């Protein structure tokens, strides 16, 4: 899982909103028009659609969303050298971390433990190896000695990494930011929205009374939709090992198998639904890193479900 890039897997494999044909009963007759925002989150495209909110209120909420996304990037972005995560990787320890930082770390480590390391935020040293030539066996073995979720200590007042260990949260942070934005809007009374800060989550319904629908894009055919899925009341995350390539020569996909330390190759892509975007994001990453036969065991009791998978 690399640092976020300006051309990310979410540009290539974006879950596209699909407008369904047919008339529906409007949820809010003569109510305000939908308000839509598009921008960036963690280096990839982000969007937000609000229904049933007066325009002035909606615009003020959008401003709060943009500020929240910027604050979350200041914690989790590897693209920003001044982020808290970047500092943690450099220094190996940070004191008095914000609650959001320790919250996401604890969730990431919990998923890592539950999946037996198929999802593991400590793979950043491996990703660094694959930016160049394929690593020699000895080099890979040495890097693997720094990988393991148990090498991260999270306390209320301190986060500490074992020597050599570094983190990436790119397999979970986009979903977490989607959830934080959703919670913010729910707290202000918004009941009908589609939030996508890298992983989409739908609340309520569209203005015509229909469920939010998302199209799962074909990674090999621009503009082609493989399937549409309802997303009202849940989140969908898609992971594709070769959606972003690590090295300039295009040999290595960005999702690494933490167990063996090599780029994952078993899946073309996998889409996972869950109650939260955080869980959908992490479980889709875990499944994409492992063999298809492990999918059911990796889901475990998370409540997630594979809605579409395409093996390599």
Q: Could you identify the residue written with the tokens 């009941």? A: 191
- Per the DSSP assignment, residues forming a β-bridge with 237 are 272
- In degrees and rounded to multiples of 5, residue 3 shows phi and psi of -60, 150
Q: Round the CA-based radius of gyration of the chain to a whole number and report it.
A: 19
Q: 200, 222, 161: which is closest to 44 by C-alpha?
A: 200
CB 188 within 8 A of CB 53: no
pLDDT value, residue 21: 30
Structural contact between residues 215 and 225, judged by C-beta atoms closer than 8 angstroms: yes
Strands 256-257, 262-263: pairing is: antiparallel
Rounded Cα gap, residues 102 and 159, in angstroms = 8
Listed residue (87, 71, 78, 84) closest to 4, CA to CA: 78
Chain-centroid distance, C-alpha 211: 22
The answer to whether the CB of 42 falls within 8 A of the CB of 2 is no
In eight-state DSSP terms, residue 2 is P
Return the higher-pLDDT residue of 213 and 17: 213
- Write down the pLDDT at residue 13: 41
Name residue, tokens 């000895």. Answer: 138
Strand (E) positions, the chain?
15-17, 35-41, 44-50, 93-95, 152-155, 158-161, 193-196, 200-203, 213-217, 225-230, 235-239, 256-257, 262-263, 267-274, 305-311
pLDDT tens, residue by residue, 218-266: 877 778 898 899 999 999 999 998 888 888 888 999 999 999 999 999 9
Average pLDDT, the chain: 89
Whether the predicted pLDDT of 19 surpasses 60: no
Contact 264, 257 (CB under 8 A): yes
- Contact, 171 vs 281, CB < 8 A? yes
Closest C-alpha to 200, from 15, 5, 8? 15
Interatomic CA distance for residues 25 and 28, integer angstroms: 9
First vs last Cα of the chain: how many Å apart? 19
pLDDT, residue 220, reads 78
Return the SS3 of 62.
helix
Eight-class DSSP state of 156: T
Q: How confident is the model at residue 29 (pLDDT cuts 50, 70, 90)?
A: low
Segment 178-186 shows an average pLDDT of 98
What value does the mean pLDDT take over residues 43-69? Answer: 95
Kindly report the pTM of this predicted structure. Answer: 0.90
């Amino acid at each position: 899982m690399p640092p976020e890039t300006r051309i990310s897997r979410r540009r290539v494999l974006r879950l596209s909103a699909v407008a369904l044909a047919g008339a529906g009963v409007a949820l809010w007759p003569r109510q305000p028009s939908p308000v839509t925002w598009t921008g960036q989150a963690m280096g990839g495209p982000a969007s937000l659609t609000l229904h049933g909110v007066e325009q002035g209120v909606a615009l003020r909420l959008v401003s709060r969303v943009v500020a929240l996304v910027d604050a979350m990037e200041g914690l989790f972005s590897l693209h920003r050298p001044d982020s808290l995560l970047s500092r943690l990787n450099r220094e190996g320890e940070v004191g008095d971390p914000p609650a959001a930082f320790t919250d996401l770390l604890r969730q990431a480590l919990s998923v890592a433990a539950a999946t037996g390391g198929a999802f593991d935020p400590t793979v950043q040293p491996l990703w660094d190896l694959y930016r160049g030539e394929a690593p020699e066996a000895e080099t890979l073995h040495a890097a693997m000695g720094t990988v393991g979720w148990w090498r991260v200590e999270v306390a209320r007042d301190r986060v500490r990494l074992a020597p050599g260990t570094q983190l990436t949260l790119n397999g979970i942070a986009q979903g977490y930011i989607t959830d934080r934005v959703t919670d913010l809007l729910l707290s202000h009374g918004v009941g009908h929205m589609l939030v996508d800060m890298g992983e989409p989550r739908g609340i309520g319904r569209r203005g015509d009374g229909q469920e939010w629908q998302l199209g799962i894009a074909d990674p090999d055919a621009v503009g082609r939709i493989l399937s549409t899925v309802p997303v009202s009341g849940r989140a969908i995350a898609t992971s594709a090992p070769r959606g972003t390539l690590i090295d300039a020569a295009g040999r290595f996909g960005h999702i690494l198998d933490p167990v063996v330390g090599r780029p994952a190759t078993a899946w073309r892509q996998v889409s996972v639904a869950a109650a939260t975007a955080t869980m959908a994001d992490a479980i889709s990453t875990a499944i994409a890193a492992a063999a298809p036969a492990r999918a059911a065991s990796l889901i475990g009791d998370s409540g997630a479900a594979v809605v579409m998978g395409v093996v390599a």
